Amino acid sequence: MKPLSEKFDLARREALAALDQATDSATVEQLRIDYLGRRGAIPALFREMGGLSPEQRPVVGQVANQAKTEIQAAVEEALQRLSDTATTATLDLNLDPTMPGRRRRVGKKHPVVQVMDEAIDIFRRMGFIVADGPDLETEYHNFDALNTPTDHPSRDRQDTFYLADGRLLRTQTSPVQIRVMESQEPPLRIVCPGRCFRRDTPDATHSMNFHQIEGLYVDRQVSLADLKATMTVFAHELLGSEVSVRFRPHFFPFTEPSLEYDFSCIMCGGKGCRVCKYSGWLEISGAGMVDPAVFQAVGYDPEKWTGYAFGMGIERIAMIRHAIGDIRMLYENDLRFLAQF
Ligand code: DAH
Nearest Cα to Cα of residue 217 among 207, 225, 209, 206: 225
Amino acid at the residue 105? R
pLDDT value, residue 92: 59
Q: Render the burial of 80-109: b for 16+ CB within 10 Å, e for the rest.
A: ebbeeeeeeeeeeeeeeeeeeeeeeeeeee
For the chain, give the mean pLDDT.
Answer: 92
Q: How confident is the model at residue 277 (pLDDT cuts 50, 70, 90)?
A: confident
Statement to judge: residues 298 and 329 lie in one domain: yes
Tell me how far apart the alpha carbons of residues 258 and 251 are, in angstroms, rounded to a whole number: 5
Q: Is 107 helix (H, G, I), strand (E, B) or coil?
A: coil
Band (135; pLDDT cuts 50, 70, 90): very high
Answer positive or negative: Cα dihedral of 262, 209, 116, 190: positive
Could you tell me if residue 248 is inside a domain? yes
Lowest mean pLDDT among 119-123, 286-290, 334-338: 334-338
Q: Are 120 and 176 members of one domain?
A: yes
pLDDT at 1: 62
Provide the β-strand partners of residue 64.
none
Separation of first and last alpha carbons in the chain: 87
Q: Is residue 200 part of a domain?
A: yes
Say whether both 58 and 137 belong to one domain: no
Residue at which a domain ends, from 34, 61, 91? 91
pLDDT > 90 in the chain, percent: 74
Pocket test for ligand 1, best of 250, 254, 308 (most atoms within 8 A of CB): 254
State the Cα–Cα distance between residues 318 and 325, nearest whole angstrom: 11
Per-residue model confidence (pLDDT) at position 185: 97
Q: Hey, what's the torsion of the CAs at 329, 332, 333, 339, to 10 degrees? A: -20
Number of structural domains found in the chain: 2
With a 6 Å cutoff on the Cβ, whether 111 touches ligand 1 is no
Q: Judge if the beta carbon of residue 308 lies within 6 A of ligand 1.
A: no
| Same domain? 311 vs 162 | yes
**108-111 long-range contacts, CB within 8 A, separation 24+:** 108/338, 108/339, 108/341, 110/330, 110/338, 111/318, 111/321, 111/322, 111/324, 111/330, 111/338, 111/341
Q: Where are the beta strands (DSSP E) in the chain?
A: 129-130, 136-137, 168-169, 188-197, 209-219, 245-252, 255-264, 281-290, 306-313
For residues 261 and 244, give the distance between their C-alpha atoms in angstroms, rounded to a whole number.
10
Q: Note the pLDDT tens digit of each residue in 306-332.
A: 999 999 999 999 998 998 989 999 999
Q: Could you tell me if 147 and 82 lie in one domain?
A: no
pLDDT at 234: 96
Segment 141-155 shows an average pLDDT of 94
DSSP characters for 274-339?
TTTTTSSEEEEEEEEEEPHHHHHHHT--TTT-EEEEEEEEHHHHHHHHHT-S-GGGGGS--HHHHT
- Look up residue 178 and give its DSSP letter: H
Q: For ligand 1, atom 4, name the residue with the nearest CA.
A: 172
Is 193 inside a domain boundary?
yes
Q: What's the angle, vertex CA 212, arms to CA 252 and CA 125, rounded to 5?
A: 105
* pLDDT of 43 over the 60 cut: yes
pLDDT digits (tens, 9 = 90+) for 192-231: 999 999 999 999 888 999 999 999 999 999 999 999 999 9
Is residue 87 pLDDT above 70, yes or no? no
Query: Residue 177: inside a domain, yes or no?
Result: yes
pLDDT at position 86:
59
Residue 285 near ligand 1, beta carbon < 6 Å: yes
> If you take atom 8 of ligand 1, which residue's CA is the nearest one?
311
Does the residue 44 lie in any domain? Answer: yes
Name residues whose C-beta falls within 8 Å of residue 87's C-beta, 6 or more positions apart in sequence. Answer: 93
Of the candidate ranges 36-40, 90-94, 333-337, the one whose mean pLDDT is the lowest: 90-94
Query: How many other CB atoms are there within 10 angstroms of residue 171's CB atom?
Result: 21
Q: Is residue 77 part of a domain?
A: yes
- The CA distance from 69 to 66, in Å, is 5
Q: What is the pLDDT of residues 278-299, one digit of tens each?
A: 999 988 989 999 999 999 999 9
pLDDT category at 81 given cuts 50, 70, 90 is confident
CATH number for 294: 3.30.930.10
- Both 28 and 115 in one domain: the answer is no
Is the predicted pLDDT of residue 103 greater than 90, yes or no?
Answer: no
Question: Is 155 in the same domain as 300?
Answer: yes
Mean pLDDT of all residues in 141-169: 94
The verdict on residue 221 lying in a domain is: yes
Q: Nearest CA to 341 among 182, 41, 109, 117?
A: 109
Domain shared by 324 and 179, yes or no = yes
d(C-alpha 106, C-alpha 209), whole Å: 27
Residue 89 pLDDT more than 60? Answer: no
DSSP 204-219: SS--SEEEEEEEEEEE
Residue (of 195, 227, 199, 230) closest to 110 by Cα position? 195
Domain membership of residue 257 as a residue range: 111-338
Quote the pLDDT of residue 85. Answer: 65
Question: Which of 148, 174, 260, when mutated, tests ligand 1's pocket best, judged by the most ligand atoms within 8 Å of its CB?
Answer: 174
- For residues 76 and 117, membership in a common domain is answered with no
Which pLDDT value is given to residue 91? 58
Q: Is 287 touching ligand 1 by the criterion CB < 6 Å?
A: yes
Boundary of a domain, candidates 28, 61, 91: 91
Looking at 122-131, 133-142, 247-256, 314-323, which range is the least confident one?
314-323
Return the pLDDT at 107: 87
Answer yes or no: pTM beyond 0.85.
no
Q: The dihedral of CA 240, 246, 250, 255: what is its sign?
A: positive
The answer, yes or no, to whether residue 88 has pLDDT greater than 90, is no
Same domain, 283 and 164: yes
Tell which of 91, 119, 138 closes a domain: 91
Same domain, 117 and 71: no
Together in a domain, 86 and 115: no
In a domain, 101, yes or no: no
What is the C-alpha to C-alpha distance for residues 109 and 341, in angstroms, rounded to an integer?
8
